[in-house]
Amino acid sequence: MDYIWQGLRDSLRIIGSLEPEFLGTVAISLKVSFISTALATVLGVPFGMWIAEKRSPGARAIITILNTLMSLPTVVVGLMVYSFLSRRGPLGEWGLLYTQTAMVIGQFILAFPIVAGLSVSAVAGLDKRIRTTAVSLGADTTQSFRMYLREARYGVMAAVVAGFGRVFAEVGVSMMLGGNIRGYTRNITTAMALETSKGEFAFGIALGVVLLTVALAVNILFGLFRERSR
Amino acid sequence: MTAYHLEQVEGRWGDFVLRADELQIERGKVYAVTGPNGCGKTSLLQVLSLLDRPVDGRVRFGNEAVSYDDRGAWLGQRRRMAYLMQHPYLFNMDVRDNIAYGLRLRHAPAGEVRRRVQEVMERLALEPFARRNAHTLSGGETQRVALARTLVLAADVMLLDEFTAGIDQQYVEMVEAYVRELNDTRGTTVVFSTHSASQAERMADHSLTICDGLVRACDAGSRR
């Protein structure tokens, strides 16, 4: 047990001293996850709101697929994107493998179904009179959509926060597509896996504390938005 | 001067058909739409609000034919009218912002929005809950806020679907007086639906009745 306590004590020292490598790893995690979540938000929220309004069997099938993809294993996404980006793959000549861009692509694929699927739920719970009311008061198509989005804001924010939580904590995509290159694609989760395998518990635990803190903050935000959307 | 002119208009909602062979609504007058439940009062107001497009016939608003396909012109015509729906929805924001919504859509200056919202809130006794979220209001309060949101637009035409439904009697007189005042002072054309024969008599210059889906004009108004 001693080495665990020792690891905890050392991790607090690492966090307190704000070592450049520690901060760099956290920054890469935040940057890649923010970009992939932002892309998933820009595309997933309008898509979710659009598909939620459709009544066709095709739309229902898409919603079912989105819900299924919410629990997509990260290594499957990693493998899929890897096969496209590797040298032998159809997009191999782009040279994206083991870059932050590849990590963003993989994390986007993870976040999109969550953001879109939860946006569907956020919109499905809205009052059907919102758009008619806006139009009856003189709103054009864009203005009525903006009001619709505004009314769904807490549910949509919860969707975005859930998407961020998913990609920030994943390891499969980052490891397979980023390659865990020090100072470039090494993020919190891949660094933790590496440091643990090296027996460097302190650094791993310090990163784990940051991961847990962010996960806690994300969950608190998610809960707040869910509460306000009811 | 006419506010609306409907010729051979036919609207369909599922199996229900509403017809108006020849209907003229004069500018600056108050019209009551009466008839039993399900006769088509709301459907007529939906057509007049230009939100529902008839399957046949011609609708003229003022001197212009309504051009449903030209969205810019259609929006311009719709913004000259204000429509209170039968079961109004208030947005998830405070009362003041709900009332200001239509004015902000029309890009009214902030000072004017404040002044007009304040005025209508005073007239309809809404000041005590100006900053309350609209979703926390009672049914009667919701109706008064929705009405305020419609009246504040000071539109050429006001279409009011059962505008005093659910409002306490003490406020009904206040609301009716305000609508009448807007008609008297600004020449606003008012078309309202009601189940109350006495309200139709108190408020309207003319009545429109709907029997078997056919809209007919009557000279029932006795207000003036």
Nearest to A156 by CA among A201, A114, A188, A218: A114
Q: Between residues A103 and B224, which one has the greater pLDDT?
A: A103
In this structure, how many other beta carbons lie within 10 angstroms of the beta carbon of residue A39? 17
Q: In Å, how far is B78's CA from the nearest CA of chain A?
A: 6
Q: Which residues from chain B sit within 8 angstroms of residue A150, using beta carbons? A: 91-93
pLDDT tier at A229, thresholds 50, 70, 90: low
Query: How is A80-113 classified by DSSP, letter by letter?
Result: HHHHHHSTTSTTGGG--TTSHHHHHHHHHHHHHH
All structural domains of chain A: 2-229 (1.10.3720.10)
Best of A127, A133, A137 to substitute, by most chain B Cβ atoms within 10 angstroms, is: A137
Indicate the helix (H) or strand (E) that contains B140: helix B139-151
Q: What is the ipTM of this complex?
A: 0.90
Mean pLDDT, rounded, for B189-212: 93
pLDDT tens digits, B51-82: 999 999 999 999 899 989 999 999 999 999 99
Give the residue from chain B lying closest to A153, CA to CA.
Answer: B92
Pairing mode of beta strands B56-61, B64-65: antiparallel
Residue A24: pLDDT above 90? yes
CB contact under 8 A, A137 and B75: no
Of B85, B93, B106, the CB nearest to A138: B106
pLDDT tier at A222, thresholds 50, 70, 90: confident
Give the residue from chain A lying closest to B76, CA to CA.
Answer: A138
pLDDT of residue A19: 86
Collect all residues from B whose CB is shorter than 8 A from any CB in A. 49, 51, 71, 75, 78-79, 82-83, 85, 87-89, 91-93, 101-102, 105-106, 149-150, 153
pLDDT tens digits, A179-219: 999 999 999 999 999 988 988 888 888 888 889 998 898 88
State the residue for tokens 């990590």: A103
Residue A127: pLDDT above 80? yes
pLDDT of residue A230: 59
CB contact under 8 A, A137 and B89: no
pLDDT of residue B34: 93
Residue A94: pLDDT above 80? yes
pLDDT of residue A3: 74
